[in-house]
Chains A and B, each alone.
Chain A
Amino acid sequence: MAGESSKPTKNREYDVIIVGGGITGACTARDCALRGLRTLLIEREDLCDGASGRNHGLLHSGARYAVSDPEGARECIKENLILKKIASNCVERTGGLFISLPEDGLEWQANFVQKCHEAGIPAKILDPEKVKREIPVVNQAIIGAVSVPDASVDPFRLTDANALDAIRHGADVLKFAEVEDFVKDGGRVVGVKVRSKDGLAEYRGSQTVLSAGIWAAGLAEKAGVHISMLPSRGALLVFGHRVADVVINRCRKPANADIIVPDDAVSVLGTTSDKVPFDQCDDMRVTPAEVELLLKEGVQLVPCLAQTRILRAYAGVRPLVSEGGDGRSVSRGIVLLDHEQRDGVPGLITITGGKLTTARLMAEMTTDLLCSKLGIKARCRTADVALPGSEKPVRKATGEYYSLAAKGRHGSEGRKMDFTGTGAELVCECEQVTRAEIVYCIKEFGVRNLQDLRRHCRIGMGTCQGNHCVRRAAEILAEELGCPELARQFVDDYLQERWKGMTPVLWGDTLREAEFMRNRYGRKDYEI
């Protein structure tokens, strides 16, 4: 991505400029590129910096929405099956359970299963006794359990893979560049003004797509368009290891903290749902009250969570849209706004709402609209063509032990890593990240600092939260970027960012780790 091929040129005319490099933007860029559109994707930070990287990592089967939103459920199951095929490397087929506790009763379950079947979701009622035996960590008070094809998906890798494929099909990706304003020609949006470290630049495109999640509202205002959005904050907790190998949901009306997902080597519990003002969307700290709520509910699913080490807490913000503007009819569904039709502003489209699971579909809908506007007839192929890394199944048990984790994360892309010599050196012990993987990520994804790096290879996301690898990682990054003087800054920034997630859960072993971390780095003149 950092390669010269993806560097946009100001003079180049684009068919479409996509603003917002989350999963939706990356999927849209890929779809556009596959259909031959000249495409530019702009992201103000690194890819996946917003809500796309701050969620459960759950590939919904649709079961959660079967009762309340049958259409959403149908979309989910369809996309679930597609992603398992095209993004096999980012998806782990864990399966999901919906458990009923005595206070839930079994009435909901009966209706739930019927609604799942109506939506085409293969939901199967299981014998709760058998579930208790086979998954001993599950709350042993369960009176019912239903299996559904939920899965775990790595949102970072999925976004990366889409962006990579977009680039490989001719798209440009511009990161760390913030759209300040639109270029207008009469009432028409014909491009964007972008601020980056290189200064202000202008890019022109026939169509501009806002896929910036909650930040789309603010951007749209600049084009004179009002989208009524409600930032809804969702807090989550990361537990130190896999407590269960399946996704566990509560079989009742969706509520707070009723899903736990196995993600790579950790478990993620969430989420809460609270309206927040727009000015908090850029810096979200999880509160003690949220942590307490999450834990109180989480132990209903898996009681041993009460004794499991919590690594950190984080929050993301859902872009809920209340079309009609009265705030009552809030939708979690896909919202595609053609501003030419809706507001009389040609050249601007907003895609928002939806879910991680349905991002590909959102991109397809958006690209269909773009093509019709551009008068291009091209079939969507994103449901059929495998993503980079997922082209063919990777036999994991090959080569050095420490290349296993890298190949697990990057699939067949792992072939591009050089595990010879110092390449096999383990840098992050918790998440088993080798120097080879780090160097690959720095080169492939245009990494700017350690926070970026971790999104691409999980470095520092494990038990010790970077305490042990941050220094080594900073040295490698600074060396690769050719600016050794930056190493200290990388460490400082990274620790500060990890600290933000650790402090809401600062007790038990996490407090021990914090003391250890402070002992090493607490004084600004720490050794580097």
Chain B
Amino acid sequence: MRYDAVVIGGGRSGCAEALRRASDGQKVCLVAAGLTLHSLEPELKGKPYSELHNLTKAGIAVLRGDIVEEVLWGATASDPVRAVKTANGITLEAAEYVLATGRFFSRGLVADMEGVREPVFGADVDFPEDRSKWFDPDFFAPQPFESFGVKTDKAGRILKGGKPVENVFAVGKILGGKHDAGR
């Protein structure tokens, strides 16, 4: 299916980005791994579908319970991404893609013993190699892993192998330390 923009991630930043673009007149598709903006947000407790209703009303095509599994790249990693394919077998083509998949809980970043990676586009991630530097032994102290995120250029495009990808932008928590988490 063809859109002006595909927003990947149905959290606070993803929903806001989708609504902003839709109000600019863009045809938007939003891919949410689970529900869109849901009752983990305190004010939405008990209203699992409230944001979905707003998104749908704004004309946004929402894919729920789906994730991007495959990226159809251009000639090189810096060229515009041609399309993405979801786990449900849906091919989405768009002029621009927005990565709003959040941090670890929402699987925007995936960590294993070896390191941290961004699973959708394989964007460059900022994190220390030494695993003992990922956390503070005091649970209540700020935790270093909470500032891990993808690297971007000045225009907000993700970096892959040090070079920006032409039409993929990152927003929200996946920006790591650069993201102002104070809400």
- Which A residues are closer than 8 A to B by beta carbons? 285, 288, 291-292, 295, 492, 495-496, 499-500, 503, 506-508, 511-512, 514-516, 518-519, 521-524
**Residues of chain B in range 21-42 having any CB-CB distance to chain A below 8 Å:** none
For the complex, give the distance between the alpha carbons of A521 and B138 in Å.
12
Once the chains bind, are B137 and A508 in contact (CB under 8 Å)? no
Q: Which residues of B contact A512 (CB under 8 A)?
A: 104-105, 107
Decide if B103 is an interface residue (CB 8 Å cutoff).
yes
Chosen A-B contacts, 28 in total, with CB atoms closer than 8 Å, are A285-B137, A291-B113, A496-B139, A496-B140, A499-B137, A499-B139, A503-B135, A506-B111, A506-B134, A506-B145, A507-B113, A507-B131, A508-B110, A508-B111, A508-B112, A511-B104, A511-B111, A514-B135, A514-B145, A515-B105, A516-B105, A518-B143, A518-B146, A521-B140, A522-B139, A522-B143, A523-B140, A524-B140
The answer to whether B135 touches A496 (Cβ under 8 A) is: no
**A91 → chain B closest CB, angstroms:** 34
Q: Is B132 an interface residue (CB 8 A)?
A: yes
The interface residues of chain B, by DSSP majority, are classed as: loop
| Contact digits for B113-127, partner A, Cβ 8 Å, 1 yes 0 no | 100000000000000
Known: A508-B111, A515-B103. A522 touches B140 (CB 8 A): yes
CB-based contact B132/A288 at 8 Å: yes
Give bound CA distance, A522 to B107, whole Å.
20
Q: Give which listed residue, A285, A507, A521, contacts B111 with CB less than 8 A.
A: A507
In the bound assembly, the distance between CA atoms of A519 and B143 in angstroms comes to 11
Kindly identify, within residues 123 to 176 of chain B, every residue whose CB is under 8 Å from any CB belonging to chain A.
131-132, 134-135, 137-140, 143, 145-146
**Complex formed: what's the CA distance from A292 to B105 in Å?**
24
**Which residues of chain B are within 8 angstroms of A292 by Cβ–Cβ distance?**
113
**Closest B residue, CB atoms, query A492:** B140
B112 to A519, Cβ gap below 8 A?
no
- Please tell me if the beta carbons of A519 and B131 are within 8 angstroms of each other in the complex: no
With most chain A CB atoms within 10 A of its CB, the pick from B111, B132, B135, B139 is B139
Bound CA–CA A306/B151 (angstroms): 29
Residues of B within 8 A of A506 (CB): 111, 131, 134-135, 145
CA distance A499 to B138 in the complex (A): 8
Chain A positions within 8 Å of B139 at CB level: 495-496, 499, 518, 521-522
Shortest CB distance B99–A (Å): 18
Please report the C-alpha to C-alpha distance between residue A483 and residue B157 in the assembled complex, in whole angstroms.
54
Chain B's closest residue to A498 (CB) is: B139
| Min C-beta distance of A175 to chain B, whole Å | 26
6 smallest A-B Cβ distances: which pairs?
A499-B139, A507-B111, A515-B105, A515-B104, A503-B135, A512-B104
Name the CB-closest residue of A to B111: A507
Besides A508-B110, A508-B112, 17 new A-B residue pairs in contact (Cβ under 8 A), listed by A number: A288-B132, A292-B113, A496-B140, A499-B139, A500-B137, A503-B137, A506-B135, A506-B145, A508-B111, A511-B111, A512-B104, A512-B107, A514-B145, A516-B105, A518-B146, A521-B139, A522-B143
A500 vs B136: C-alpha distance in the bound complex, in angstroms?
Answer: 10
Chain B residues with CB under 8 Å of A288's CB are 131-132
Cα separation A507 to B110 with both chains bound (whole Å):
8
Q: Which chain B residue shows the least CB distance to A519?
A: B105
In Å, the complex CA distance between A495 and B140 comes to: 9
Give the one of B104, B132, B134, B145 with max A CB within 10 A. B104
Give bound CA distance, A291 to B135, whole Å.
16
Report the nearest A residue to B138, measured CB to CB. Answer: A496
Report B126 CB to chain A, min CB distance, Å.
16
A313 to B161, CA, bound (A): 35
Kindly count the residue-residue contacts between A and B in the assembled complex, taking CB atoms under 8 Å apart: 55
Number of interface residues of B (CB under 8 A): 19
Q: How far is A408 from B143 in the complex, measured between Cα atoms in Å?
A: 38
Q: Which residues of A contact B145 (CB under 8 A)?
A: 506, 511, 514-515
Residues of A within 8 A of B104 (CB): 511-512, 514-515
In the bound assembly, the distance between CA atoms of A285 and B135 in angstroms comes to 14
- A236 CA / B23 CA spacing, docked (Å): 55
Which residues of chain A come closer than 8 Å to B140, judged between CB atoms? 492, 496, 521-524
Q: How far is the CA of A522 from the CA of B103 in the complex (A)?
A: 16
Name the distance in Å between A309's Cβ and chain B's nearest Cβ: 12
Measured in the bound complex, the distance between the Cα atoms of B137 and A499 in whole Å is 7
Complex Cα distance A522/B131, Å? 20
Provide the bound-state CA to CA distance between A506 and B137, in Å: 12
Inter-chain CA distance A515–B104, complex, in Å, is 7
Closest B residue to A499 using CB positions: B139
Within the complex, the shortest CB–CB distance from A502 to chain B, in Å, comes to 9
Residues of B within 8 A of A524 (CB): 140
C-alpha spacing A507/B132, complex, angstroms: 11
In the bound assembly, the distance between CA atoms of A128 and B135 in angstroms comes to: 43
Distance A496 CA – B139 CA, assembled complex (angstroms): 6
B86-118 at interface with A (beta carbon < 8 Å)? 103-105, 107, 110-113
CB proximity of B168 to chain A, nearest CB, Å: 24
Q: How far is B137's CA from A295's CA once the two chains are assembled, in angstroms?
A: 22
A295–B110 Cα distance when bound, in Å, is 19
Q: How far is the CB of B41 from chain A (nearest CB, A)?
A: 11
Report the minimal beta-carbon distance from B173 to chain A, rounded to whole angstroms.
Answer: 10
CA separation between A518 and B136, bound complex, in Å?
12
In the assembled complex, the Cα of A343 lies from the Cα of B164 at a distance in Å of 76
CB nearest to B141 among chain A residues: A522
Instruction: Contacts A288-B131, A288-B132, A516-B105 given; indicate if A507 touches B112 (C-beta within 8 A).
Output: yes
Nearest CB of chain B from residue A83's CB, rounded to whole Å: 37
Chain B contacts of A507 at CB under 8 A?
111-113, 131
Task: Report Cα–Cα, A508/B134, bound state, in Å.
Answer: 13
Would A515 and B113 count as touching, CB distance under 8 A? no
| Set of chain A residues within 8 Å of B135, measured between Cβ atoms | 503, 506, 514
Min CB distance, B34 to chain A, in Å?
13
Inter-chain CA distance A523–B139, complex, in Å, is 10
- A503–B136 CA distance with the chains assembled, in angstroms: 9
Contacts of B131 in A (CB 8 A): 288, 506-507
Point out the residues of chain B lying under 8 angstroms from A518, CB to CB.
139, 143, 146
Give bound CA distance, A87 to B103, whole Å.
Answer: 47
Report Cα–Cα, A292/B112, bound state, in Å.
Answer: 12
**Minimum CB–CB distance for B150 against chain A, Å:** 16
Q: Smallest CB–CB gap between A99 and chain B, Å?
A: 25
CA distance A458 to B42 in the complex (A): 29
In the bound complex, CA of A524 to CA of B138 (Å): 12
